[in-house]
Amino acid sequence: MSRKIRIGTRDSKLALWQANYIQMKLKINGVESELVLIKSDGEQNLTTPLYEMGVQGIFTRALDISLLQNKIDIAVHSLKDVPTQIADNLTLAAVPQRGNFKDVLVYKEKIPQDSLNYVVATSSLRRSAQWLHRYKIHQTTILRGNINTRLAKLHENRTWDAALFAAAGIERINLDVPNMIELDWMIPAPAQGALGIISRIDDFEINQICKLLEHPQTRITCGFERKFLRKLMGGCSMPIGGLAQVINNQLYFKGCVLTIDGKKMSYVEVCGSENNIEVLLEEAVGNLIEDGGGEIIKTFKN
C-alpha cells in the first residue's frame, strides 16, 4: 500500500496507548501509519451540523467528525464508548482481541466491608449502582477525568476511601497501583476492555487492511453485548452491564440493569450455541424485562 494510514487519536495517555498499539499491529503486517492528534469538538471548524452527520458519543464524536472530513483514515476508540448506532457513512471496520474486561477497586487504606462507612468515587453510573446494590450502607460520589486525574483526585480527597476503574485502562498505561482488587462479581459495561476501529464505509482499501486487526471471537461477544444494550435502549446514562464469553462453541451471557440508587436490580443469564446468536439475544432481553428490568428502564425513559 503506497499511502500511509492516518490514525486518529485523542492525546490522553490511554488514547495514545491504544493508537500506538494499533500502529504496532499494522507495522507487524507491513502497513505504515502515522498518528494524528485530534482536538475536542469545540476546537474544530464544523461545516455540517452533527445531527445531519448522525454523529453521537461524547468520547468518540471528535474523531468521527475528523473521519467524515477526511482528516484521518481510521479512528481508534474504546469500544464501550462507541455508540451502538454508528454515524452515517462510517463503519466498525475491526474489533481487535479484547483485553481485561473487569472492573477494579483502588483503595487507600481500608478494604470495603458491609458494616463499614465507606465512600467510593466513580465516573460510572453502572459501577455506582452495582456497588450500592452490594454494599447497602456505603456511599458513592462522582469522579471525572482521565485515569491519572482520577487517581490523583482519589488520593487528594480526605473523605473518599476508594475509587472504581476499568482494569484494562490501568493495565494498558502500566500504572503502579498497589491497593487494587479485581471485582469478579461486578458485570462490566458492554464491550469493556475491547477496542473499536472506525473507518469510512466507502474506503475499500482501508477496510481491507483493517481486517488484519480483527479478532472474530471478540467481534461476536462484544457484538452480542452491544446489541443487548441497544435493544434495551441504554447508553452511558443508564446502569446496564453485560458480558458474553464463548467457551467450547457455547456463548455464555450475563446482564443486568439497575436503578441509580442500586436498590433494584434485574439480572439475567443465558447460554446457547454461538451459531444461534439472535435467538439467544431475544431470550436474554425478554428474560431481563420480565424480571423487572422493564419497569427499571421505564423510570429512565420517564
DSSP assignment, residue 163? E
Grid coordinates standing for 17? 496507548
Q: Which of 142, 139, 163, 159 is nearest to 151 (CA)?
A: 163
CA distance 121 to 275: 40
CA distance 225 to 216: 14
CA distance 225 to 153: 31
Catalytic status, residue 81: yes
Neighbours of 17 (CB within 10 A): 17
H or E segment and range at residue 198:
strand 195-200
Q: What is the 3-state secondary structure (H, E, C) of 19-64?
A: HHHHHHHHHHCCCCEEEEECCCHHHCCCCCCHHHHCCCCCCCHHHH
CA distance 36 to 39: 10
Exactly one of 41, 64, 73, 81 is catalytic; name it. Answer: 81
- Largest Cα separation within the chain, whole Å, is 64
Interhelix angle 13-28/147-156, rounded to 10 degrees, is: 150
Grid coordinates standing for 61? 464524536
Task: Give the catalytic positions in this structure.
Answer: 81
